[in-house]
Amino acid sequence: MARTGRGALSGCVWGEQGLGTGNTTDPKRRPRPAEHVAIIMDGNGRWATSRGWPRLVGHRRGAERVREIVRACPDLGIRWLTIYAFSTENWKRSTEEVLGLMAIFARYIEREADRLSVEGVRLRFIGDRTRLDPKLQKMMAGIEARTAHGGRLNLTVAINYGGRDEIARTMRAIARDVAAGLLAPEAVDEALISARLDTGDLPDPDLVIRTSGETRTSNFLPWQAAYAEYEFTPTLWPDFSAQDLALIMGAYGNRERRFGGVAGE
């Protein structure tokens, strides 16, 4: 969990555990498990259309997958799970698909609130919520408050999220504070920017997974994932299982994370 702006500190932490120790059998020298995993859940539409079904059927199946993956996280050592549900670019889709997706989010919140709360999952949202239906915004705030005590897993759902939009919103807010004399320009450093992003309370992701075979990041966490490992899998999101996640987590354990340093030093 390297935090932007604290590179040297995280380098020390990793150094203690041994950098550049891929495939080693010495547990002390193995990389730590990925505590923060971020997922670009892609392929719902293709999953449905390849079966001759409407795209929304794929989105519904995708939401069911979220339930299974969330439940699998604690046993895999994942403490933070951040999932991309709707991008600032996804408004380009048909009204039917956009409204259908919004209805799926509302139903997910309604149905999962009790379970998440009992299972110790803290749910947060990132993205610009001001453009969402006020009723949905209220539901989002409600479940955030209701699950705020959860300490077993931090689940963050990105809705109307775009990394560039997030950075622009953050920079506008910082510029306002500088103009008002509340903040000195010299105080604007990496740590301050990190803290003021939507993800201010979250560590940076260790690992970003994208399903469906696409090898792009589509505006997901560009600042936060600057040093993340990436895994691209051809599996479509509605087919992505807890076992697939376990395999990726196992492979991650063999990666070298150098953070600009030199292996073995």
For residues 43 and 163, which CB has a smaller minimum distance to ligand IPE in the complex? Answer: 43
Ranges assigned E (strand) in the chain: 36-40, 80-87, 121-126, 153-161, 207-210, 229-232
DSSP states along 102-114 = HHHHHHHHHHHHH
> To the nearest whole angstrom, how small is the minimum distance from the Cβ of residue 8 to ligand IPE?
33
Q: What does the alpha-carbon distance between residue 15 and residue 203 come to, in Å, rounded to a whole number?
A: 19
Q: Is 187 helix (H, G, I), strand (E, B) or coil?
A: helix
Q: Are 218 and 40 in contact (CB under 8 A)?
A: yes
> To the nearest whole angstrom, how small is the minimum distance from the Cβ of residue 87 to ligand IPE?
4
Regarding 204 and contact with Mg ion (CB under 5 A), the answer is: no
Q: State yes or no: is 90 an active-site residue.
A: yes
CB half-sphere exposure, 26, CA atoms < 13 A: 8
Considering only 82, 147, 156, 212, the residue that binds ligand IPE (CB under 6 A) is: 212
Q: Which of 90, 177, 239, 244 is catalytic?
A: 90
89 is in an annotated binding site: yes
Q: Are 80 and 206 in contact (CB under 8 A)?
A: no
For residues 144 and 239, which CB has a smaller minimum distance to ligand IPE in the complex? Answer: 239
Q: Which two tokens stand for residue 45?
A: 């539409």
Regarding 42 and contact with ligand IPE (CB under 6 A), the answer is: yes
String of contacts with ligand IPE for each residue 218-257, x by CB under 6 A: x---------------------------------------
Alpha helices in 73-221, H assignment, sequence order? 95-118, 134-146, 163-179, 190-196
String of contacts with ligand IPE for each residue 96-125, x by CB under 6 A: -----x------------------------
Considering only 10, 34, 42, 101, the residue that binds Mg ion (CB under 5 A) is: 42
Please report where in the chains the tokens 């051809």 appear, as a residue.
234
**Residues at the interface with Mg ion (CB under 5 A):** 42
Tell me the binding residues for Mg(2+).
42, 229
Which residues are designated catalytic? 42, 90
Tell me the binding residues.
42-47, 55, 59, 87-89, 91, 93, 210, 216-218, 229
